[in-house]
């Protein structure tokens, strides 16, 4: 089997031989597909011919259709978005290019500026506003949603909207924004939706047709750069699959490498026997090793497989990996490259105050960059992350250790991708990564136009199952699921624009309701099948003597009543047994009726603190064994047969004392086995003391015997069909309940939200009240809590730093569960206001329960002290030390706080000036010079 390096060299040679003819074929294909028009001029600006799927999508767009393009990472989807930009400029119309994250918006802005010039391109991300009235504006999706609700004049002349990474609408926190935009865009706007490969692209496309009109769905499953899958065992790089006959990565189901299967079996055998054998001094089986991080980089370097992105699902792990590489002496850059890196870093970080550099870990970060290694995660200063991305793109960073956030659209492809583990913390528990996540992460491997193939490497570790990994790597089913639900802000904006009835209709057109309705269609089909089957069953149970359905109902009633009385009798017996155990005292001699502990015993400790299980008496048996009993040892009440005196100095651990007491027990003259006088605790039907129950049973039995069908010779055959019909009827009723809960789910939630808003005074029928207009300007998860604080004057009279502290509680979410310690808070009016905010949220939560509206999380005061201190002018080092927070997190939360303060300022005259002052005080130092959040 050839090594990755040998295959890579061979693939390079094949590519060189085929390059000429391939280029000619691509050029001819493009020319045939677009003989004239804007597509020809657009394609001429690229150094490579467009792929067939790109041509099909661009032709559909040029013909006046919307398009949905679902294709693998790195396939070139964004070319279609860039064609929309080209068409907008050619037609004199506007194009908005939206992305899910600000980092991707900044990156796309830079790409388009290089292609079209700064005068034609703008940027709006909430943090940055650059040339916002340009014909082409790159923005986050939230910015466009807010513009639509506000009726922004910037929307005039809008002809195209590109929604990059549109599969983000399944994100449970922010996904609703994508659907809001798609629903509310004017019909004249052509929508270009770019998505990762999803298995239900056609379903999503069908929905787009219903809400946007003509939409062409382009699904491309071919990956332009073939991807090899490997497992690194120690320093060995083994293929996951057996290669095909042509020496290429398998495209479909393939055989797992037998060597990996053998290693997995050895590891399993080691786990079962290794420790035991080593304790006995015998042979210890060999176990496959997990390579260290520096060893992984060194091995990939030797194979010619750098640059690499190693995904480590931990910020601390990413930083530790860089430190480990530095300690190992890794140097991946030459002297000239190191000089280039230093000059680039110094130029980009020139504005950072010198006293902050040490706090930010600048010198350690720079040392790693000069050696060609770096971390990339949300805890880093945004400027540092940008520099890593820029140097990686220039080939000056060879190994990046990153969290999975790097896979979310940022253009940082590599020759290889390493996955250190196949599980990650999802915010609640450690869970295995999904096939979709695996594909998204490994999709970064293989740079189009640079690499002839990419390489995905999973590190060997105890518990890695090659078969499960093969399934993960080859699964191609990633359905797109809507996360849409109405919010308070959405409700007041829609009611204010179109009224409640029209708003309901618009929400009914959401993808969430579309999917629910399709599910209802499937459920209805099941109901019809069940009804047909039930008709057959009922025909089979027809009886010439009478109505067998009523007879079957009597049988079920009798069986149910017997079971109920049996359960009640058993419960009564357990209760009586527990009560008897509670009456026992030390020295009581009892008889354990059955089981391994059967026979005479003397109570040492009644065990009354037995908890939920009831009393757990500790006894000494006649054979000198100390045992702890439970209610399960007594099917009925137990009585003390006699009493023995237990010496005060009795020690149950002392064998001699146990022997003496057991001898005394045997000498009581009581027999060790129960005789005649055993209390009767149960018996025939209804022997439970329930006279009414016994009478009911007798009545049902009489009715059953009197029924005409009771004498039918085929009675039991009819009964079997009747039982099947009844069970199927129960299943059908369950399906019908599920159908009723899915129909009009979105509009019902909207109605409940509107009812609550009307009760609170934010809506008055179809009229939005002044308080409602304030709510309409608040775009945050805790929108109604924010509006309640504004309306009740909780923040009146606060200073700017105090207001920053209070509003931070509506933005911040702690990454880790609370450890029981209370966060530090500013004193005085700010502390009182924070307490009042929590009370307002609790009151609101009660009202939400009354209206059956999902409740939002409560305010989180964990960032209040840091926000207060930063707005008060304290140095970065002191603020970060007090907050125990990474610089990147601090910048991100502060920017989100600034954004919400801006919304508060726009919504309220009362605290508007203070809110703007607070935002200005926060916008300094690392926050001011960081361009990405």
Q: Do the Cβ atoms of 296 and 418 come closer than 8 Å?
A: yes
Taking CA atoms, 387 is separated from 369, 383, 396, in Å, by 10, 6, 11
The Cα–Cα gap between 442 and 459 comes to 13
What is the phi/psi pair of residue 643, to 5°?
A: -135, 140
Q: What is the pLDDT of residues 583-599, one digit of tens each?
A: 899 999 998 887 777 88
The most confident of the ranges 172-181, 308-317, 443-452, 629-638 is: 308-317
Distance of CA 834 to the CA centre of its chain: 30
| CA pair distance 437, 757, nearest whole angstrom | 39
Q: Identify the residue whose tokens are 């309901």.
A: 504
pLDDT tens track for 825-861: 898 999 999 999 999 999 999 999 999 888 888 899 9
CA distance 109 to 130: 10
What are the phi and psi torsion angles at 287 (to 5°)?
A: -115, 140
Q: What confidence category does residue 524 fall into, taking pLDDT thresholds of 50, 70 and 90?
A: low
Q: pTM, whole model, 2 decimals? A: 0.69
Pairing relationship of beta strands 236-239 and 227-233 according to DSSP bridges: antiparallel
Q: Which residues of 179-210 are buried (b: 16+ CB within 10 A; e: fewer)?
A: bbbbbbbeeebbbbbbbbbbebbebbbebbbe
pLDDT of residue 288: 53
How confident is residue 30, by pLDDT bands cut at 50, 70 and 90? very low
Phi and psi at residue 418, in whole multiples of 5°? -115, 135
Tens of pLDDT, residues 119-155 = 999 998 876 788 889 999 999 898 999 899 888 899 9
Separation CA 677–CA 675 (nearest Å): 6
User: What's the Cα-to-Cα distance from 933 to each of 9, 200, 358, 384, rounded to whole Å?
Assistant: 41, 32, 21, 12
Look at residue 20 in the predicted model and tell me its pLDDT.
42
Q: How confident is the model at residue 428 (pLDDT cuts 50, 70, 90)?
A: low
Taking the C-alpha atoms of residue 838 and residue 477, their distance in angstroms, rounded to an integer, is 43
Long-range contact pairs involving 77-83 (C-beta distance under 8 Å, separation at least 24): 77/194, 77/195, 78/108, 78/164, 78/194, 79/46, 79/50, 79/54, 80/54, 80/192, 80/194, 80/218, 81/162, 81/164, 81/192, 81/194, 82/42, 82/112, 82/115, 83/38, 83/39, 83/42, 83/57, 83/58
Residue 25: alpha-carbon gap to chain centroid: 44
More confident residue, 424 or 40: 40
- The pLDDT of residue 748: 86
Q: Looking at the predicted structure, is the pLDDT value of residue 551 above 80?
A: yes
Phi, psi of 123 (to 5 degrees): -140, 130
Q: Is 649 exposed, middle or buried (0-12, 13-18, 19+ CB in 10 A)?
A: exposed
Q: What percent of the chain has pLDDT over 70?
A: 85
- Give the lowest-confidence range in 529-533, 670-674, 699-703: 670-674
Taking the C-alpha atoms of residue 876 and residue 928, their distance in angstroms, rounded to an integer, is 13
Q: What is the CA radius of gyration of the chain?
A: 36
Q: Provide the pLDDT confidence category of residue 22 given band limits of 50, 70 and 90.
A: very low
pLDDT for position 259: 83
Read off the pLDDT of each residue in 640-662 and give the average, rounded to a whole number. Answer: 90
- The stretch 896-912 carries a mean pLDDT of 92
Q: What CA–CA distance (Å, rounded) separates 166 from 724?
A: 47
Which uninterrupted H or E stretch holds 660? Answer: helix 655-666
- CA-to-CA distance for 278 and 280, rounded, in angstroms? 5
Q: What is the pLDDT of residues 164-190, one digit of tens each?
A: 988 877 777 777 888 889 988 988 999
Torsion, CA 897, CA 900, CA 906, CA 908, rounded to 10: -90
The span from the CA of 111 to the CA of 90, in Å, is 18
Per-residue pLDDT at 365? 93
Give the CA distances from residue 362 to residues 320, 369, 385, 639, in Å, rounded to whole numbers and listed in that order: 15, 10, 12, 79
Q: Is residue 311 helix, strand or coil? A: strand
Report pLDDT for 611. 61
* pLDDT attached to residue 28: 37
pLDDT in tens, 339-386: 999 999 999 888 888 888 888 889 999 999 999 999 998 888 888 988
What is the DSSP secondary-structure string of 440-508? HHHTTBS-TTT-S-EEEEEE--TT--HHHHHHHHH-------------HHHHHHHHHHH-HHHHHHHHH
* pLDDT exceeds 70 at position 875: yes
Task: Give the pLDDT score at 159.
Answer: 94
- Which pLDDT does position 762 carry in this prediction? 95
Taking residue 875's Cβ as centre, other Cβ atoms within 10 Å add up to: 15
Give the model's pLDDT for residue 320: 93
Best CA proximity match to 385, nearest among 96, 104, 678? 104
Which one-letter DSSP state was computed for residue 126? S
The token pair at 757 is 């808003």
What local confidence, expressed as pLDDT, does residue 26 receive?
43
Question: How many whole angstroms separate alpha carbon 389 and alpha carbon 332?
Answer: 17
pLDDT tier at 800, thresholds 50, 70, 90: very high
Categorize the per-residue pLDDT at 520 as very low, low, confident or very high, splitting at 50, 70 and 90. Answer: low
pLDDT of 72 strictly over 90: no
The torsion of the CA quartet 26, 27, 29, 31, rounded to 10 degrees, works out to: 160
For residues 505-526, one letter each, b for 16 or more C-beta atoms within 10 angstroms of the residue's C-beta and e for the rest, the string is: ebbbebbbbbbbeeebeebeee
Residue 849's pLDDT is 92
How much is the average pLDDT of 61-76?
87
pLDDT classification of 609: cutoffs 50, 70, 90: low
Average pLDDT over residues 666-692: 54
More confidently predicted of 83 and 200? 83
Task: Average the pLDDT over each of 28-42, 506-520, 561-575, 837-851 and give the range with the smallest value.
Answer: 28-42
Give yes or no for residue 115 having a pLDDT over 60. yes
Instruction: Please provide the average confidence, as pLDDT, over all residues in the chain.
Output: 82
Residues 6+ apart with CB under 8 A from 546: 707, 708, 709
Average pLDDT score over residue span 891-909: 92
Q: What pLDDT, on a 0 to 100 scale, did the predictor assign at position 588?
A: 93
What are the pLDDT digits (tens) for 814-826? 866 555 567 888 9
Give the rounded percent of residues in the chain with a pLDDT score beyond 90.
33
Taking residues 313-330, what's their average pLDDT? 91
Whose CA is closest to 47, among 32, 20, 27? 27
Could you read off the pLDDT of 889-899 as tens digits, one per residue?
Answer: 898 899 999 99
Q: What is the rounded average pLDDT of the residues 723-752?
A: 80
904 pLDDT more than 90: yes
- What is the per-residue pLDDT for 667? 86
pLDDT of residue 5: 52
Q: What is the pLDDT of residue 556?
A: 85
DSSP 8-class letter at 289:
P
Phi, psi for 590 (deg, rounded to 5):
-125, 165
Cis amide linkage into residue 307, ω under 30° from 0: yes
Contact 331, 371 (CB under 8 A): yes
143 Cα distance to chain centroid: 24
Measured from the Cβ of residue 858, the count of other Cβ atoms closer than 10 Å reads 16
Q: How confident is the model at residue 283 (pLDDT cuts 50, 70, 90)?
A: very low
DSSP string, 25-71: HHHHHHHHH-SSSHHHHHHTTSSSPPPHHHHHHHHHHHTT-EEEEE-
Q: So what's the pLDDT on residue 173? A: 72
The DSSP code sequence of 345-392 is HHHHTTTS-HHHHTTTTHHHHHHHHHTTEEEE-TTS-HHHHHHHHHHH
- Among 365-374, 399-408, 454-463, the least confident range: 399-408
pLDDT at 56: 93
**Residue 688 pLDDT > 60, yes or no?**
no
Asked if the model's pLDDT at residue 31 lies above 80, the reply is: no
pLDDT band at 274 (very low <50, low <70, confident <90, very high): low
Average pLDDT, integer, range 469-483: 76
């Amino acid at each position: 089997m050839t090594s990755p390096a040998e295959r890579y060299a061979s693939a390079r040679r094949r590519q060189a031989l085929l390059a000429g003819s391939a280029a000619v074929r691509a050029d001819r294909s493009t020319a045939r597909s677009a003989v004239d028009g804007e597509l020809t001029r657009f394609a001429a600006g690229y150094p490579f011919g467009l792929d067939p799927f790109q041509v099909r999508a661009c032709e559909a767009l040029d013909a006046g259709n919307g398009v949905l393009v679902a294709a693998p990472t790195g396939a070139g989807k964004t070319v279609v978005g860039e064609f929309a930009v080209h068409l907008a400029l050619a037609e004199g119309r506007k194009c908005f290019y939206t992305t899910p994250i600000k980092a991707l918006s900044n990156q796309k802005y830079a790409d388009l500026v290089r292609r079209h010039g700064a005068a034609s391109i703008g940027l709006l991300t909430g943090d940055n506003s650059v040339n916002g009235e340009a014909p082409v504006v790159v923005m986050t999706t939230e910015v466009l949603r807010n513009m639509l609700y506000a009726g922004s004049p910037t929307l005039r002349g809008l002809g195209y909207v590109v929604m990059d990474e549109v599969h983000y609408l399944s994100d449970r926190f922010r996904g609703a924004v994508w659907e809001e935009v798609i629903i509310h865009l004017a019909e004249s706007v052509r929508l270009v939706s770019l998505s990762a490969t999803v298995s239900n692209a056609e379903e999503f496309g069908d929905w787009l047709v219903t809400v946007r009109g003509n939409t062409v769905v382009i699904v491309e499953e071919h990956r332009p750069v073939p991807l090899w899958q490997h497992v690194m065992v120690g320093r060995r790089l083994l293929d996951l699959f057996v290669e095909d006959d042509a020496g290429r990565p398998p495209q479909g189901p393939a055989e797992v490498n037998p060597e990996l299967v053998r290693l997995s079996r050895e590891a399993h055998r080691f786990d079962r026997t290794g420790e035991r054998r080593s304790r006995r001094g015998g042979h210890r089986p060999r176990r496959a090793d997990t390579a260290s991080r520096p060893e992984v980089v060194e091995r990939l370097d030797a194979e010619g497989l750098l640059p690499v992105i190693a995904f480590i699902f931990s910020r601390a792990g990413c930083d530790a990996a860089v430190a480990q590489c530095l300690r190992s002496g890794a140097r991946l850059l030459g002297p000239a490259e190191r000089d280039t890196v230093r000059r680039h870093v110094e130029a980009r970080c020139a504005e950072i105050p010198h006293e902050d550099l040490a706090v930010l870990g600048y010198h350690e970060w720079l040392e790693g960059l000069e050696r060609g290694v770096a971390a990339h995660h949300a805890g880093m200063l945004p400027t540092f992350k940008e520099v890593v991305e820029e140097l990686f793109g220039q080939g000056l960073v060879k190994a990046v250790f990153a969290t999975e956030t790097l896979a979310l659209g940022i253009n940082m492809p590599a020759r290889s991708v390493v996955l250190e583990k196949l599980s990650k913390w999802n915010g609640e528990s450690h869970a295995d990564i999904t096939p979709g996540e695996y594909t998204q992460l490994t999709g970064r491997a293989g740079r189009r136009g640079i690499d002839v193939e990419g390489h995905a490497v999973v590190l060997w570790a105890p518990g890695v199952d090659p078969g499960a990994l093969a399934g993960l790597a080859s699964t191609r089913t990633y359905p797109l699921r809507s996360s849409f639900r109405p919010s308070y802000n959405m409700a007041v904006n829609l009611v204010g624009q179109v009224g409640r009835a029209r708003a309901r209709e618009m929400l009914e057109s959401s993808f969430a309701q579309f999917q629910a309705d399709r599910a209802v269609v499937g459920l209805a089909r099941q109901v019809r099948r069940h009804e047909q089957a039930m008709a057959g069953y009922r025909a089979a149970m027809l009886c010439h003597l009478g109505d067998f359905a009523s007879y079957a109902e009597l049988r079920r009633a009798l069986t149910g009543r017997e079971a109920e009385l049996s359960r009640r009798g058993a419960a009564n017996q357990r209760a009586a047994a527990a009560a008897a155990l509670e009456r026992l005292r030390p020295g009581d001699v009892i008889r354990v009726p059955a089981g391994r502990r059967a026979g005479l015993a003397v109570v040492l400790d009644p065990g009354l603190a037995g908890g939920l299980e009831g009393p757990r008496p500790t006894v000494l048996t006649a054979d000198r064994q100390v045992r702890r009993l439970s209610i399960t040892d007594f099917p009925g009440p137990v009585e003390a047969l006699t009493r023995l005196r237990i010496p005060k100095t009795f020690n149950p651990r002392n064998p001699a004392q146990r022997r003496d007491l057991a001898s005394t027990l045997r000498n009581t003259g009581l027999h060790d086995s129960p005789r005649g006088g055993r209390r009767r605790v149960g018996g025939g039907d209804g022997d439970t003391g329930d006279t009414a129950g016994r009478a009911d049973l007798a009545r049902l039995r009489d009715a059953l015997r009197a029924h005409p069908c009771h004498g039918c010779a085929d009675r039991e055959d009819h009964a079997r069909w009747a039982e099947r019909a009844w069970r199927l009827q129960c299943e059908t009723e369950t399906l019908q309940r599920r159908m009723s809960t899915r129909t009009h789910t979105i509009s019902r939630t909207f109605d409940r939200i509107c009812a609550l808003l009307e009760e609170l005074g934010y809506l008055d029928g179809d009229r939005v009240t002044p308080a409602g207009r304030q709510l309409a300007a608040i775009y945050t998860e805790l929108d109604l809590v924010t509006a309640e604080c504004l309306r009740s004057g909780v923040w009146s009279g606060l200073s700017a730093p105090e207001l920053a502290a209070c509003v931070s509680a509506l933005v911040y979410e702690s990454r880790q569960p609370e450890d029981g310690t209370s966060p530090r808070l500013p004193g005085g009016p700010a502390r009182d206001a924070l307490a009042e905010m929590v009370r307002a949220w609790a009151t609101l939560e009660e009202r939400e329960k009354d209206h059956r509206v999902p409740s939002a999380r409560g305010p989180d005061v964990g960032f209040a002290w840091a926000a207060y201190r930063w707005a008060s002018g304290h140095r970065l080092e002191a603020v970060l030390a007090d907050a125990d927070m990474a610089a990147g997190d601090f910048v991100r939360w502060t920017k989100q706080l600034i954004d919400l303060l801006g919304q508060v300022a726009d919504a309220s005259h009362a605290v508007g000036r203070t809110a703007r002052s607070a935002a200005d005080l926060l916008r300094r130092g690392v926050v001011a010079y960081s361009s990405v959040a």
